[in-house]
Amino acid sequence: MTILIGIDPGLQRTGWGIIHADTNRLSFIDCGVVKSDPELGLAERLKQLHDGLRIAITRHQPQEAAVEETFVNKSGSSTLKLGQARGAILLTLSLCGLDVYEYGANLVKKSVVGSGHADKHQIGMMVKMLLPASTATQADAADALAVAICHAHHRSVSSWQLAVGSDKA
44 catalytic per annotation: no
Residues for the chain: how many in total?
169
Question: Strand 2-8 vs strand 13-22: parallel, antiparallel, or unpaired?
Answer: antiparallel
Bridge partners for 21 per DSSP: 2, 26
68 catalytic per annotation: yes
DSSP H stretches of helix in the chain: 42-60, 76-95, 105-112, 120-130, 139-164
Please name the amino acid found at residue 162: L
167 catalytic per annotation: no
CA 162 – CA 169 distance, rounded (Å): 11
Three-state secondary structure call for residue 24: coil
Bridge partners for 40 per DSSP: none
Choosing from 64, 102, 119, 140, the catalytic residue is 140
CA-closest candidate to residue 146, choices 116, 157, 74: 116
CA 130 – CA 20 distance, rounded (Å): 12
Choosing from 30, 37, 68, 119, the catalytic residue is 68
Catalytic residues: 8, 68, 140
